[in-house]
Amino acid sequence: MTVTIAAIGLTIRLAEGEEIHDEVSCKFRRDVVEAEASAAGLAVNGWWTDTEDRFAVALLQPKPAPRPWKLHRPRN
32 within some domain:
yes
Instruction: Write out pLDDT tens, residues 12-68.
Output: 999 999 988 888 778 889 999 999 999 999 999 999 999 999 999 999 999 988 777
Is 35 a domain residue?
yes
Q: Is residue 1 part of a domain?
A: no
Q: Which amino acid is at 5?
A: I
Which pLDDT score is estimated for 75? 79
The total number of structural domains in the chain stands at 1
The b/e string for 2-21 (b: 16+ C-beta within 10 A; e otherwise) is eeeeeeeeeeeeeeeeeeee
Structural domain that includes position 60? 28-64
